[in-house]
Amino acid sequence: MRGKDASTNLPLRGVSEMAPKVRKSFKLVEGRMFKEGTNEVVVGDGVVKQYEGLEVGKKVRWGNTDWTVVGRYTDGGGIAESEAWGDTRIVQQAWRRGNSFQSIRAKLNDAASLKTLKDALSKDPRVRVGVQTERAFYADQQKLMSTIITTVGVALAIMMGVAALFAALNTLYNAVATRVREIATLRALGFGGFPVVVSVLVEAMILGAVGGLIGGLLAFLSLNGMHSSTMNWASFSQMTFAFTVTPGLMLLGIMYGLILCFFAGILPGIRAARLPITSGLREL
């Protein structure tokens, strides 16, 4: 299948009429569901954005079969939006899969039911299946890509953090240099070196909080909900996903900025505390 930029593999999943009912975020936003026993498919919103010629009403040829796109759906930005769905029996026939199933998705009443289901299937000699949560299933499939993204993300965060540390250090040194008279006056009034250091650190923390908040808001406005794609190394097919900037991530970014600015404020604070009072008063 040809994507917007290059040829990639598109996951075609055979499902039954129960598929939308086991996904709480499923929503058909255009067209209709496919009819059983026909070569009709519905495509995820991420698929439409990543691939050409999959709009509702289009016909495509996959394998030796022609398929008609009759609907488009969303699933709360989930991985299901990376797939095209067709009738199970038709997909099995088209790809000569017989009566085999690659995976079965079940909606349980609560988390405790997973163990009950796993125990029941493990003791049934008629089937050989692995039972796990959907999160664990996709985490296993994307373990390699997740490791790569995490490693690159941490490396970038460290490099950008070091750059931000030096920028904050330079800003605070300039702030101390422009307040020599104020600092000397405070010292002459009886304030010790420790309160001066604390005042510089407080200013640094305020800068860090404001910078982190602005950065978090910019990330939310520019990245939240944005769709992208990556390779599913388990099936060698393209998988679309949506970026989600959560309050927790924004808080983590603000805390990172506070920590950087705290360390950046230590040396300027010590320098301010060691400024000779007489030299500062001469600036008056």
Distance CA 8, CA 4 (A): 10
Pair of tokens at residue 73: 């759906």
Biggest distance spanned by C-alpha atoms of the chain? 92
Note the pLDDT of residue 240. 66
Ramachandran sector of residue 215 (left: φ over 0; alpha: ψ -120 to 50; beta: rest): alpha
Distance CA 280, CA 259 (A): 30
For the chain, strand residue ranges (E) read 12-15, 26-31, 40-44, 59-62, 65-75, 84-87, 227-232, 237-242
Burial of 89 (0-12, 13-18, 19+ CB in 10 A): middle
Does residue 68 surpass a pLDDT of 90? Answer: yes
* pLDDT: which is higher, 89 or 178: 89
- Per the listing, tokens 């510089």 go with 200
Note the pLDDT of residue 114. 86
Which range among 30-39, 165-174, 240-249 has the greatest average pLDDT? 30-39
Q: State the average pLDDT over residues 131-147.
A: 77
Query: What rounded mean pLDDT belongs to the chain?
Result: 82
β-strand pairing of 26-31 with 65-75: antiparallel
The upper half-sphere exposure of residue 227, i.e. CA atoms within 13 Å in the direction of its Cβ, equals 20
Does residue 26 surpass a pLDDT of 80? Answer: yes
Pair of tokens at residue 47: 């698929």
The residue type found at 272 is A
- Model confidence at 32, pLDDT cuts 50, 70, 90, reads very high
DSSP secondary structure code for residue 38 in this structure = S
Note the pLDDT of residue 174. 87
Distance CA 8, CA 54 (A): 14
Note the pLDDT of residue 172. 86
Does residue 138 surpass a pLDDT of 60? Answer: yes
Q: State the average pLDDT over residues 60-75.
A: 91
Does residue 139 surpass a pLDDT of 90? Answer: no
Q: State the average pLDDT over residues 196-213.
A: 88
Distance CA 29, CA 41 (A): 14
Distance CA 175, CA 190 (A): 22
> Phi/psi of residue 189, each to 5°?
-80, -5
- Model confidence at 278, pLDDT cuts 50, 70, 90, reads low
DSSP secondary structure code for residue 51 in this structure = B
Does residue 170 surpass a pLDDT of 60? Answer: yes
- Model confidence at 279, pLDDT cuts 50, 70, 90, reads low
- Continuous H helices in 27-142: 45-50, 88-94, 112-122, 134-141
Does residue 230 surpass a pLDDT of 70? Answer: no
Note the pLDDT of residue 88. 92
